[in-house]
Chain A
């Protein structure tokens, strides 16, 4: 069957790559986390020691919980702030929507690290923001610190996520058939009510997609906390990274990672109750 052969040829590279370099690593990580810490298959024995240690360290759990909270706040804020942008693009931008969309996405293409650096300069103790506040009469000491805390992390993350959160919402809003909106206006709905009862519900799949699209990767975020978080703002991802860089406790790192992965799978499962993952590809 030549047709079957063709399909095989076409799909093999990607299947192989995803299998070998995505699924297999995940499996190895899972297996290793349940192992005795040996880095050779032959020497590994089943052991729950590391898991036990993890479960006993309440600091780890608290950090995981706090990180989840941070991720929730980030996702919520991102979606909230991105919604009006998406709304404008979908309904007010007309033919310029493609161009404006590109406009807000461009900053994301510029090195993330550099933008964080720029924010640090902006909000830093010698930076323009503080200087401006001081000239207006607010002494620097009366302000809560703008950097190196959890708020700074959330703000920076939201800042980077807004354009990406806007995309799925925009897609969903665009897909609403205009006649539906015209019909609700025709039937006498005031603009706010039309929004609450028609537009918002219909855009909900996009909103939910945007939320999870921000939430799940942010769970494991470590770069922003490392740059902006100080001691108060570190997240679970930093803990994992630490195991491999400083503490050199690979088994613990794997356990922490696996726990996070399970959490991600759980959340993904919730997400797929609402939308199909493959639809993200169409978003």
Chain B
């Protein structure tokens, strides 16, 4: 009895979580500027208008560029730190881990204000660059988490074997450690990209006159006439996100070691 109740509850929650998304997609085809229920006709015109909206295209491309570069930086920086943590001993490692986890919990408004002040004091103008810097800070803990978990999972002897066979430290890293961790690196990258692409609360403080997609969306949400356009955009983003998630799931399955064959064998 407890089981069925739990399953019912689970699917209820899941349905609730997906309901708005489904709604967004449905209404993106709505032939009306007003968001009344029920829908008034089916149309694809909003999708067409999407491509004609120059400002939106610009915001979209900005988000992609910022997402890509900040994720690249976060993945590189975070992976190096993950290797350092998993394979080396050093002074104040615990302290570093604690500090590196902080961006996960600190409210973005505090982080935003602090970084804004930094840039002001040092004289760095607010541009997409400052946004990117902020995104890297936010993503480092996630990259650390994903990559360090992978590194902890594989046989430490493998790296010793590489060195035994003549590979020095950096060769081992390049030819053995990183290739084996590749799925985790990719997952970390995609995770960072996704976070960066959707980031608003922090970006708000660090952006100057440029726009990113969330910033653009926020400004559009106040104008009812532009709402259908926003919905079409929403549907596109949903679709892109789903593809990314499927990719990640596929990667996770690649990353899983095959179930070990029984050791009792006949040669």
- Residues on A lying within 8 angstroms of B by beta carbon are 2-3, 6-7, 9-11, 13-15, 17-18, 21-26, 28-29, 32, 39-41, 81, 84-85, 87-88, 92, 98-100, 102-104, 106-107, 109-115, 117-119, 121-122, 124, 126-128, 131, 159, 162-163, 191, 212-213, 216-223, 227, 237, 240-241, 244, 250, 253-254, 257, 260-261, 264, 268, 276-278, 280-282
Contact = CB atoms under 8 A, between A and B. Distances in A.
B93 to A, nearest CB: 9
Contact of A222 (B17, B148, B201): B201
B120 interface: yes
Contact of A127 (B13, B37, B140): B37
A21 B83 contact: no
Nearest to B141: A281
A23 B234 CA distance: 36
Interface in B225-267: 227, 230-231, 234, 237-238, 241-242, 244-245, 249, 252
A88 B110 contact: no
A260 B109 contact: yes
A162 B249 CA distance: 21
Interface string B100-128: 11111111111101111110110000000
Given A109-B194, A114-B217, A121-B35, A257 B13 contact: no
Indicate the member of A40, A117, A191 with the most B CB atoms within 10 Å: A117
B113 A253 contact: yes
A217 B102 contact: no
B51 interface: no
Given A102-B249, A104-B14, A111-B237, A244 B116 contact: yes
B97 to A, nearest CB: 4
B23 interface: yes
Contact of B244 (A6, A10, A109, A221): A109
B200 A84 contact: no
A10 B107 contact: no
Interface of B: 2-3, 6-7, 9-10, 13-14, 16-21, 23-24, 27, 34-38, 76-78, 80-81, 83-84, 88, 90, 94, 96-111, 113-118, 120-121, 133-134, 136-137, 140-141, 144-145, 148-149, 169, 194, 198, 200-201, 204-205, 213-214, 217-218, 221, 227, 230-231, 234, 237-238, 241-242, 244-245, 249, 252
A118 B252 contact: no
A88 B9 contact: yes
B241 to A, nearest CB: 5
The interface residues of chain A, by DSSP majority, are classed as: helix
B99 A23 contact: yes
B77 A219 contact: no
Contacts of B141: 281
Contacts of B37: 126-128, 131
Given A111-B198, A220-B109, A257-B114, 20 more contacts: A3-B88, A10-B83, A10-B88, A11-B90, A14-B78, A14-B80, A17-B140, A106-B242, A110-B198, A112-B200, A115-B21, A115-B24, A118-B20, A126-B35, A216-B105, A216-B106, A277-B101, A277-B105, A281-B100, A281-B101
Nearest to B108: A220
B6 A122 contact: no
B105 A119 contact: no
A220 B106 CA distance: 8
Contacts of B13: 81, 85, 104, 162
Nearest to B119: A25
A262 to B, nearest CB: 10
Given A22-B137, A88-B7, A128-B37, A260 B110 contact: yes
22 contacts: A11-B96, A18-B137, A23-B99, A39-B121, A109-B198, A109-B244, A111-B213, A112-B214, A113-B200, A113-B217, A114-B238, A126-B36, A126-B37, A131-B37, A216-B105, A221-B109, A237-B109, A240-B113, A250-B117, A257-B110, A261-B110, A281-B148
Contacts of B108: 217, 220
Contact of B109 (A102, A113, A257, A278): A257
A21 B136 contact: yes
